[in-house]
Amino acid sequence: MTEIRLNKYLAACGICSRRDADKLIEQGAVLVNGSVAATGCKVTETDEVTVRGKKVSSPDKKVVLAYYKPVGVTCTERDTHAHKIVAEEIKYPIRVTYAGRLDKDSEGLLLMTNDGDLINAMMRGANGHEKEYIVKVTKAWTPEALNHMRQGVYLKELDLVTRPCEIEQTGPKTIRMVLTQGVNRQIRRMCQNEGYEVTSLKRTRVIDVNLANLKPGEYRELTQTEMQSLYARCGLRIS
């Protein structure tokens, strides 16, 4: 019977990403056959795995939801300090988790799924998947600032240069941005670097899935056509 690393198993069950699974294991929140799991251990489908007392099982059906995350909702599985968290806002019969975060003060499209392989494929920065945003700031943009951001900005606090990106000005203080990487609070940091403060940030597209007509707090299941396209672009097949 095939063994699989516990963090990969938890991700495949849609519990969280592999990185977050490692954190759960380190915290002692994961049990295998009644014993606290060790980092790096392996399991098979015959093992009983629980996370914070709840039994984990492989998903029978792969699900992807398009969710309009409102401002004020935190992308986290568990946080006693957060007023609202994604896991408690979505009332869906199958447990799903997010594939790529949006910070608390941002809104827009968040893809939720129970497929850990899809989450890992989408979060892998080297894949360069597109994410589109509408960004509003406190003052009018200058051509120089926009050109600088298009070329890539050095973020001193992270010691990295952002990838070149697509930017279209849609109003004096509003732009449409398309990024291909997922640096923490990247857009806010880039704008701040140019002397601008973001007042509104909304994600409207992830790869080829669009926010469309969803309203804050609403979600919908992806169509079969959308699912097939999303999986294909991530180099995966829907089994």
| Spatial CA neighbour of 138 closest among 192, 176, 183, 186 | 192
Residues 6+ apart with CB under 8 A from 50: 30, 31, 56
Strands (E), 45-106: 49-51, 54-55, 64-69, 73-74, 84-85, 97-98
Alpha-carbon distance of 40 to 5, in angstroms, equals 6
* Residue 103 annotated to the active site: yes
Q: Which residue is associated with the tokens 């609070």? A: 185
Q: Long-range contacts: 92-98, Cβ < 8 Å, 24+?
A: 92/63, 92/65, 92/219, 94/14, 94/59, 94/61, 94/63, 95/14, 95/15, 96/14, 96/63, 96/65, 97/14, 97/15, 97/16, 97/17
Alpha-carbon distance of 8 to 39, in angstroms, equals 12
**Which residue in 22, 47, 60, 103 is the catalytic one?**
103
Contact present, 233 and 222 (Cβ < 8 Å):
no
Alpha-carbon distance of 25 to 37, in angstroms, equals 6
Alpha-carbon distance of 32 to 7, in angstroms, equals 12
Q: Which residues are catalytic?
A: 103
